[in-house]
Chains A and B, each alone.
Chain A
Amino acid sequence: MQGGATGLAFRGRTASIGFAHGPFVRVDAGTSGERVAGSLVEEALALRGAIDVASGQIAELAAIAGGEAAQILEFQVALLEDEDFIEAIFASIGEGKAADVAWRSALDTQIADYNSAEDEYLKARSSDLADLRDRVINVLRGGEGQTPRIPSGAVVCADDLPPSRFLEIDWSGGGGLALLRGSPTSHVAMLARARGIPMVVQLGAIPGVGATALLDGESATLELDPGAEQVRVFEKRRESHRKSRASARAILRRPTASWRGERIKLFINIQRVDDLEHADAQYADGIGLMRTEFLLTSGLPDEETQFQAYDAVLRWADRRPVTIRTFDAGGDKPVPGFTMDGEANPFLGVRGLRLCLARPDIFTVQLRALARAAVRGNLKVMFPMVTSADELEAGRKLFAEIVQRLQADGIAAMLPELGIMVEVPAAALAIASFKASFFSIGSNDLAQYALACDRSNGALAPLMDPLHPALLELIARTAEHGRRAGISVSLCGDMASDPRFIPALLNCGLRELSVNASALAQIKQTIDRLSSGGGLG
């Protein structure tokens, strides 16, 4: 390490947040060495023996690791106990293949199959299978546990790392994981998050071999052989992360956020049902925005599929409120068979509620599912992209008819509270004309429309200022109307998840915010600091 010199830096994707500074260790799983095949019977016995040894090793690992890790390893055990699968491998040994060749080819077929899946979750399972493949082959080659010693606190670098290898490494002294490929949804990423081990994936090619490394899971960077200045900056980041994380987690557990004696409700936004698995989600006051566009990714969903998704979220929330937004397709979210083709300016086109009202065939299915879900919990429904009060009333009329029809058929259903997204400047300016039960400010679109800036156009980034007085004026008007009329007003755009904008939002009169689950702790902490007279820190 030369003082002052700048080492190599690489950027990947965050899989687990945290910091590691330690020796750099490459652990490429080279399964080297050839094995001499025996007779058919010997080969069959060799594989049977290797499978038994591997089963034992995995069971041992699972017993030590426990909890989530044990469940992950259970999949590997189930594979070894799958007679259909194993019998086919023995059959190919019977046809003259060597044990390791037969085993590898069966596993490689599975791995290729999982890798070709579109679902990232399924793709990530392929590393579990590669883990199992290598473990059995390692036993067949007579090597048992000949893993290189990894010094405590090391930054371990591999192409990808299987869960069982992760568990064999001693993480008690800290350390981190830097993967050239890998995925944030892999089992090993789940294990790293559960253990608080920083992990960065998809770093791409790392040409150099280093002696020491800095791994920053927050900014997803790996620095090799860092200079003294790099280390100083890194340690500073690590320290401030440690402090803010510790106090944010503590604050998260407190029942409510408050500011100047007023309660601030903090909800979360979810894109899909799985988002509720985030560890911090349980501390939210409810769901402030459940998007439903995920249901449109594989064709138009039927009523039952939708009902199940809404019901799952309501069950999770128990008595807490859940605000579900009806399909917000169109704009930058085209859906084949639903949205209009060939619009010259789709952001100003038939999108959101406009589209749903134009397609009652599709909208009716969603409203039926929502009407049935409404009896299952504290459901609120909101319409996106509303410009005039007539649109809200048209949606309400359709919804009420659907509820009546369901009830007439003896199906449990009710009309939930109805609200609107405030994202069209005209709606914010004419807010008193809407007979809504609640308002939710969609600050991303509101900013784009008020500032006349396409939010995806990077050249306009300097103009897209969420603190532009015009935007704050629209937010404040909406909040003020809510306060006078006794109607709840929240904000669910990206602004709410950014600590820098919280003072302005509170000063606009907002007392309800809906944020990403990963930002919940930080936003609660920010409000707490502001409340105790501190700055943003």
Chain B
Amino acid sequence: MLDKADGHIFTGNVRLVHAVGMHARPAVKLTKLAKKFQAQISVRVAGAAEWINAKSVVKIMAMRAAHGSTIEIKASGSDAEAAVAALVDLIATDFPDEAS
């Protein structure tokens, strides 16, 4: 990925353990969490051509990420590192209900 001059790009990988894949409830939780950060956050299913805005529920749903797929996350901006860590944790812990 191209490094921007205005800051580091932080990245993370996490396996989607949710039994039914990236469906409505996980997608809503993911975008809600992403919106708490200033950083620009993008995600994609590992190997996909296009990066997707992690704050758009429509686009997250359209990824059709299946159970067991690996999600790549990248973020840039002031709180990018924390954002990546938080999203990795959310997905790795299977979108727990108290994550609000």
A residues contacting B by CB (< 8 A) are: 71-72, 74-75, 78-79, 81-85, 110, 113, 117, 119, 121-122, 125, 128, 272-274, 298, 301-302, 304-305, 308-309, 312
**Nearest 7 A-B pairs (CB), nearest first?**
A305-B68, A84-B56, A273-B19, A78-B57, A85-B58, A75-B24, A78-B28
Task: Check A75–B17 contact: CB distance below 8 A.
Answer: no
A308→B58 CA distance, assembly (Å): 27
From B17, B32, B62, give the contact of A78 (CB < 8 A). Answer: B32
Task: Check A304–B56 contact: CB distance below 8 A.
Answer: no
B31 interface contact, C-beta 8 A? yes
A249→B39 CA distance, assembly (Å): 51
Task: Check B23–A301 contact: CB distance below 8 A.
Answer: no
From A85, A273, A308, give the contact of B56 (CB < 8 A). Answer: A85
16 of the cross-chain contacts (CB-CB < 8 Å) are A78-B28, A79-B57, A82-B31, A85-B57, A85-B59, A110-B58, A121-B23, A128-B24, A272-B19, A301-B68, A304-B15, A305-B67, A308-B67, A308-B68, A309-B67, A312-B19
User: CB-nearest residue of chain B relative to A273?
Assistant: B19
Q: Mark B44-71, 1 if CB is under 8 A from A, else 0.
A: 0000000001011111011010111000
Task: Check A308–B15 contact: CB distance below 8 A.
Answer: yes
User: CB-nearest residue of chain B relative to A298?
Assistant: B66
Closest CB-CB distance, A104 to chain B, in whole Å? 16
Closest CB-CB distance, B97 to chain A, in whole Å? 9
A78→B55 CA distance, assembly (Å): 10
Closest CB-CB distance, B2 to chain A, in whole Å? 21
Q: Interface on chain A toward B: helix, strand, loop, or mixed SS?
A: helix
B25 interface contact, C-beta 8 A? yes
From B21, B56, B66, B67, give the contact of A82 (CB < 8 A). Answer: B56
From A84, A117, A308, A312, give the contact of B59 (CB < 8 A). Answer: A84
Which B residues are in CB contact (< 8 Å) with A304? 15, 68
Task: Check B19–A274 contact: CB distance below 8 A.
Answer: yes
Task: Check A83–B15 contact: CB distance below 8 A.
Answer: no
A298→B65 CA distance, assembly (Å): 13
Indicate the member of A78, A81, A122, A274 with the most B CB atoms within 10 Å. A78
A273→B61 CA distance, assembly (Å): 21
Indicate the member of B21, B24, B28, B55 with the most A CB atoms within 10 Å. B24
Task: Check A75–B59 contact: CB distance below 8 A.
Answer: no
Closest CB-CB distance, A376 to chain B, in whole Å? 13
User: CB-nearest residue of chain B relative to A295?
Assistant: B68
